[in-house]
Amino acid sequence: MRMMMKDKVFDKPIEKKFEFDEAVASVFDDMLSRSVPFYDEVRNLIISLILAEEREGMKVLDLGSSTAKFLLDLHSKMTSTMKLKGLDNSQAMLDRAEQKCQAFGANIELALADMLTYPYAEEDVIVANYTLQFIRPMQRMELMKQLYQGLNDEGMFIFSEKVVFEDKKLDKDLIDIYYAYKKEQGYSDYEIAQKREALENVLIPFTIEENIQMCKDAGFTKITTVFQWANFVTFVVKK
């Protein structure tokens, strides 16, 4: 296994908007661990929630599975044979994921797919960690309806998102706090500014209330937040 490469994607002038290409895929695990507060804790929390429902043949689908880190961690902790599958629309990410799954001997299905057109059917658990925020708002609402239809009656959708706040002063203060956090993780002011520019109009966050309303509009009735740090929130949603 190659060692995890350090994220240096934004230490030089950007030439395009953010995309999940080979340059990002090669450092994505490091990018996540240093860019998303409590990422490891949230991942472990979601895995624990899934394991609390674990049973033979249970289907777990990860949307935007990237390098398969989440699915590999779940695979290493499960005690029954669940059916793990990851969807991603980046071949570069899937190539990394395939290499890792082979190295660990993990039976995880990976598919190059558009989550907006994927045929969801009889899913037990669907996970989307910081994925929906990259989908255009109107399409995001349509996707939520598809997920509702594709989940079993006892199914569960768990998703994490970056959020914004109606209180503009609070929103700015929390963004400043987040940037201070990134600096503590070793990112420079220049890298932070470059990534912010690259993500503009690519990552479009909702408020917590808008995320909850989107779930309700799709048909979900049980919507709970199980984790929040500043503008990062994890939701558990059931029918």
- What residue spans define the domains of the chain? 22-238
> Which residues neighbour 64 within 8 Å (Cβ) at sequence distance 6 or greater?
87, 88, 115, 128, 129, 130, 131, 134
- How far apart are alpha carbons 183 and 222 in whole angstroms? 37
Q: Which long-range contacts does 77-82 make (Cβ < 8 Å, 24+ apart)? A: 77/47, 77/51, 78/51, 78/54, 79/54, 80/54, 80/55, 80/56, 81/56, 81/57, 82/54, 82/55, 82/56, 82/57, 82/58
| Helical packing angle, 137-150 and 208-218, nearest 10° | 50
**pLDDT, average across residues 114-127:** 97
- Please check the confidence at residue 125 and state whether its pLDDT lies above 60: yes
pTM of the shown model: 0.86
Average pLDDT, the chain: 88
- How far apart are alpha carbons 75 and 4 in whole angstroms? 20
pLDDT band of residue 191 (cuts 50, 70, 90) is: confident
- How far apart are alpha carbons 35 and 181 in whole angstroms? 8
pLDDT in tens, 15-32: 544 344 555 455 556 777
The CB density around residue 102, as the number of other CB atoms within 10 Å, is 9
pLDDT in tens, 203-231: 889 999 999 999 999 999 999 999 999 99
Residue 88 three-state SS: strand
The conformational region for residue 22 under phi > 0 = left, psi -120 to 50 = alpha, else beta, is: alpha
b/e map 116-139, b = 16+ CB within 10 Å:
eebebeebbbbbbbbbbbbbeeee
- Please check the confidence at residue 64 and state whether its pLDDT lies above 60: yes
pLDDT in tens, 135-148: 999 999 999 999 99
CATH topology of domain 22-238: Rossmann fold (3.40.50)
